[in-house]
A and B are shown apart, each in its own frame.
Chain A
Amino acid sequence: MTTEAPAAPGAHDAQRRFDGMIAADERIEPRDWMPDGYRRTLIRQIAQHAHSEIIGMQPEGNWITRAPSLKRKAVLIAKVQDEAGHGLYLYSAAETLGVSREELLDLLHEGRQRYSSIFNYPTLTWADVGAIGWLVDGAAITNQVPLCRCSYGPYARAMVRICKEESFHQRQGFDSLYVLARGTGAQRRMAQDAVDRWYWPSLMMFGPPDAESAHSEQSMAWNIKRFTNDELRQRFVDIIVPQAEALGLTLPDPDIAWNAERGHYDFGTPDWDEFKQVLKGGGPCNRQRLEHRRRAHADGAWVREAARAHAAKRAARDTAGEAA
């Protein structure tokens, strides 16, 4: 799947040059030599990110047809469309590393590459759409803003564009929850219930605690990752606690308290057993999300085949036309 690094005599120099660029915090571009491990790590991470965008279309797409106002319906369609667009840029960024979108989709469909586990939770009420915008997009932005400075150029540039759109989604989610929290009793209960269900999974989006994170150290050394999982999780909690107060909703975490000494909010420990369980495929929607993806892909096979066949016929006709 990956292009092997040349083992030629120049390889040593190439490694030195790469190390120098990383040390100087320069951008690595597709034409530059890079170690296999760096390439593999990026392919894995960018693909997982792309897969998360397209799987993430499902839980929210689930509410498009039922959105309770035309304005919210328009906002939601635009958001799901943006996610498809993000998927496109990210697959393109991965393609610069020598792997095709088709290969990556096959790996997703075969369950050999992952997507963000958060999307294995169901969206049960309309308020879930707002809670996802506020908490899930909020966590995603916290994770992604540092990736705009990632050492791999195409990924960093894709992230700049994505972060702009994500922050718009996050504001819309907050706005939607704000209206619900000030609405009827039923709307308020719906909003609180959604926050209760999405809070802990959103904290898990930053990955396991630093001590147990398999890839963190090397990714930090390569300037792919700039902050540790726990640092980012803390940053996120510090952002959402005052936002929850502004919403008038409570976060389902009795350990949240301002710690003046640290200058941060203390917070509870997510249920890492649940995290592992969902990661292993035991979440409420793992099977459903992957089956939906596989079905859409399989249902579209004849369409993609027709497009290829038509393009080939057209090219043959053009060639025949030129020859005549």
Chain B
Amino acid sequence: MRKVSVLLFLAWVCFLFYAGIALFTSGFLLTRLELTNQSSCQELPGPGPLPWGSHGKPGACWMPSRFSRVVLVLIDALRFDFAQPQRSHVPGEPPVSVPFLGKLGSLQRILESQPHHGRLYRSQVDPPTTTMQRLKALTTGSLPTFIDAGSNFASHAIVEDNVIQQLNSAGRRVVFMGDDTWRDLFPGAFSQAFFFSSFNVRDLHTVDNGILEHLYPTLDGGSWDVLIAHFLGVDHCGHKHGPHHPEMAKKLSQMDQVIQGLIERLENDTLLVVAGDHGMTMNGDHGGDSELEVSAALFLYSPTALFPSVPPEEPEVIPQVSLVPTLALLLGLPIPFGNTGEVMAELFSGGSDSSHPHSSALAQVSALHINAQQVSRFLHTYSAATQDLQVKELHRLQTLFSKASARYQHFLRDPQEAEAALSTLTAEFQQFLRGARALCIESWARFSLVRMAGGAALLAAACLLCLLASQLAVAPGFLFRPLLLIPVAWGLTWTILYAGVSVTTGSKIDLVVLGAVAAAGSLLPFLWKAWVSRGSKRPLAPLLPVPRPVLILLLIRLATFFSDSFFVVEARATPFLLGSLVFFLVAQLHWEGQLLPPKPLTMSRLGSSAPTAPPRHSGAHALWLGIGLLLFTRLAGLFHRCPEETPACRSSPWLSPLASMVGGRAKNLWYGACVGALVALLVVVRLWLRRYGNLKSPEPPVLFVRWGMPLMVLGTAAYWALASGAEEAPPRLRALVAGASAVLPRAVMGLAALGLVLLLWRPVTVLVKAGAATSRTRTILTPFSGPPTSQADLDYVVPQIYRHMQEEFQGRLERTKAQGPITVAAYQLGSVYSAAMVTALLLLAFPLMLLHVERVSLVFLLLFLQSFLLLHLLAAGTPVATPGPFTVLWQAVSAWVLLATQTFYSTGHQPVFSAIHWHAAFVGFPDGHGSSTWLPALLVGANTFASHLLFAVGCPLLLLWPFLCERQGPKRRQPLPGSESEARVRPEEEEELQEPLMEVRLRDAPNHFNAALLQLGLKYLFILGAQILACALAASILRRHLMVWKVFAPKFIFEAVGFIVSSVGLLLGIALVMRVDVAVSSWFKKLVLAQQR
């Protein structure tokens, strides 16, 4: 029952952290209130008559329609400079040969030949630059907030007023073709629709070819009023190849042909809009707010004259949401209720009423006035619904609008004033609109300070709990059960009280606050009890038992979370701190004299007189471990992905898939290197298992390691071959390649699941041999005939001779003691826990490798080698033969966390949303997932947090490894060290043989073992919790920082999700160790019963 208590205690501590994270998140990532009001033609946006006096007529609306038809071509991720010509501005400078420049030639030809018919704009996009947020902005004119960026998997319909809904209300026929995101945003809104799956970012042609199949027939058919085509090839080409690739030039040329074809087919009453929803970075990604991401192209064209002047030399910069009121008024529709955009006034200059002397300026002012009335109505309604907006600024804006509106009404009654008055009115309306927009931007990033403070306090209290409990866990007489039950009871009491108070007062029960109340209610009694017991028993115990250099490193690590500069270089700062910790470990070993161990004082009772090895040979072991660890850390740093804030940095080309390589020879070499890394990883683990004798028994996990894992390697290699060469396959093999691409990853993951099930079923890989004392003679198996002819043959035979002599000696010893004739020898008990843990980690690593690009397998190999060296280095400084409780050093846990963070970066990840590897969702499912969203989320999450998961599951190795390395102490100078450790049932023989117990020592002290596991989990959670507390404090203190949405908020989200993944992995790892312990205990009981029989 103690094992269950340990797991429950750790789960409760995880719940405390989850409650703190949830409370802080609910205060930090605040969403905007969405109003569901609708604009309508019958209801004017404000008081006063319209200038043309057409109100009341059938079909009339706020403004007469200028165009009866619109073709909207949305080219996803069409950055502004993609529409630029290739000519250079400097006359003498040669033209720059960039692939994406000068490809949209039709736009340039229109601007040159028909300057009054077309106009190119630079569209300024509001962050976050994800497609769904941009589609919302392009149809509602509002400002989506940050929290919507995370809902890209589960799209949901737009509940606010939008242009599509207005078109439907007016009876217009909307035909859509392209991105299937629109289906979820606007369900049932299209009279005819052709949707194509948009999630496969590596597919450049499916959506575009589907649109081209229907675009011209629908255009010529005529049964449409608004035609929307959303092309995705440019966006997917950016994700896959980046903008600087010949594929981008080909894709843009294809778009140019589409635009040219549309221009030739347009009729006089049709407006053509070519727009990009966002831009893309130098790597072809988007989602953030960099200059390249918020810069999109916007092109307007009409067969009839549309603009009064010629295009300016430099295109004008307009907000993207300006398209919403402009399009609505041009189509004769009401402006959506929640719009905050400003109409493009120059499009309303031309009109059929040319008899009026100031008709052009009057039309512009009228459009602006309608726009301002609509925004004023929205601000009034929104401020009545909630108190978000700033009151003083709101009053100032309303006063400005009232004065301008009054002057506008006065001008309508007395139209004899000069045109200068109209210019003043235009400026005032624009000032109001821009002020309203700025007011909304400033207000909708508001934070709830009470919840943020509560969440941070809860996280800090949970960290303090981990610190106190990790000291109490190894104290004598520590009882788990009563200290755990009392907090749970207190938590339930407070929860019931809060629920009762909420119900009686009629307020809505908030689940986040409920969880926080339960956590705080259960936490405070425990802290009080722990403090009292600590104060009474050990008053002089230090509060921070961390060694001072490790504490300094931890504080430096936490301080870097408060600087955006260190966020940008965290991929290089973490290996630096890890290297510093390794240097400190080696120096500490040398300082305490363990680098050159003293000569052993006691010789073995067996009387083996092995020759004495030179002392320097074993002394430099830890030094070489440290240097090797630094070297592997440096090699892993070669796989890095540059953040957007460092333009001078070059991302590692090794993080792109093999399919993007153009040379066949280099691709084959890299493929060989990736498969070699895969095989090397398997061979290293098998050699390690064989060294400790874990591959000899006929248990199911051992058979799986022998036969199942090579099958996984073969499946992964075959899948990589198909993935890297899929585009070069002949057409008749396409179906076969597609089928194999789906089957092979599923087979590998199925094998991994089967291996884990076998491991949980029979985790003890112990080989039992029972034989009589009289059957000591055995033949030596030789793979050759005749005398040995090579060193390999000698290496094969000599260990058998040694074991034979050892068994003969033991048999003689037993005969002299006149013991019973039956003896039992059990092999590989010394590494029974570590073998199961390492096998589980390898079974986890293969599916995780499959979710990454091929060359990240080298990073996984480095990961295992680094962990191996680090565990050996930590084991060299940990005493295991001393009596008393087992303990894990703080520097061990700190180094483990730093290594996990470093591997997160070397696997090609960054804590920003634009760096997420979305392609992982299609490993095993190239045709999509149907309607489920949890499976792609699981795959992408496993890809992103692979390092967190592996290191959290492997955390118990920090406790097990020092016992595993115990054999290198007294028996260091054995010329032929045996690969087995024998555990005798009779204790008197055990004392005489003086053999190392290794991990069986843990088995002999179950109380200390459970306490050590609890302490290990608490220390790990403390360091993770301190990191996320630092992230929360950084986001709180710097919430008005320029980079809060760029750096600190995504960092907090990634740390929070990483904490959840790590804590679940930690519980799973400790549960696996406990499962092995239960199996070992039952195995010993069966052995004792068999002996008694």
Partners in one complex: no
